[in-house]
Structure 1
Amino acid sequence: MKNKNLLSLLAPLFLGLCLIALPVNAADLAQAKSAGLVGEQMNGFLGLVQPDASAEIQALVKSINAQRLAEYQRIAAKNGVAVEEVGRLTAQKVIGQAAPGQFVETPSGWSQR
């Protein structure tokens, strides 16, 4: 039951993640995902598909992940659940909605949609 309540909170979170750090980061993130440099991980954070991505892309991932962590912590504290649970549930939603051609993490590694 707790997961259903948490899931209802994730809809606005998902929207918030899409809007986080607008306008520059959103455009940069979309480009990095389209180029296959960055993908969504199963823990709710971004990951580098290409470990040798530029310092700019690495900084973008680090910045967005820091913002996501802060939001996950806020939601976890409000609902009395683990931060990891919020991240995992968010990942399920984000990965499920990944656009064709984007990379997502699977138990066996990166997979292109």
Structure 2
Amino acid sequence: MRNILIFIISMFFALSAYALDLQQAKDQGLIGEANTGFVAPVTSRPSPAIRDLVNAVNRVRQEQYQKIAVTHGLTVREVGHLAHKKAMEKTEPGHYYQDPSGMWVKK
């Protein structure tokens, strides 16, 4: 389990190509950490650029979660939930994350 969490944390650093744009979107309250371990738009009508960023980040996460799942005998969903727990801890003040019921919470 510890190895999975370490791998998930390192996966977040692997998103450095998206970090600046993702960081800006999070700073502006446009994107948050969904309770699935993926990112999602916080607004009901995201711009095409935000939708594209969400899709790009989530494609990378999906690939990483799949690798972790296969390696550790878990489902992608289980890996996503583990990643969500870690993402909630790392969410910066003022940024959004979803609680287990799906409600957006500003940290």
Q: Same fold (TM over 0.5)?
A: yes
Indicate if the aligned counterparts of 1:37 and 1:53 stay in contact, CA closer than 8 A.
yes
Given that 1:19 and 1:26 are in contact with CA atoms closer than 8 Å, whether structure 2 keeps it comes out as no
* Residue of structure 2 in register with 1:15 after alignment: 10
1:108, distance to aligned residue in structure 2 (A): 5.2
What is the distance in 2 between the residues matched to 1:91 and 1:34?
Answer: 18
Match of 2:90 in 1: 97
Matched, 1:112 2:103: no
2:36 is paired with a residue whose SS is coil
| Residue pairs, 1:3-42, within 5 angstroms | 5=1, 7-20=2-15, 22=17, 25-42=18-35
Query: 5+ residue gaps in structure 2?
Result: none
Quick one: percent identity of the two aligned structures? 32
Amino acid at match of 2:104: W
- Cα distance in structure 2, aligned partners of 1:88 and 1:108: 13
Work out the CA distance in 1 between the residues paired with 2:49 and 2:13.
19
* 2:23 partner letter: A
Which of these two proteins has the greater Rg computed from alpha carbons?
1
Please give the root-mean-square deviation of Cα atoms over the aligned residues, in Å. Answer: 1.3
TM-score (norm 2): 0.91
TM-score w.r.t. length of structure 1: 0.87
State the number of aligned residues: 106
* Alpha-carbon distance in 1 for matches of 2:90, 2:67: 23
What is the CA–CA distance in structure 1 between the aligned matches of 2:68 and 2:52, rounded to whole Å? 25
What secondary structure, in the 3-state scheme, does the structure 2 residue paired with 1:51 have? coil
* Equivalent residue number for residue 88 of structure 1: 81
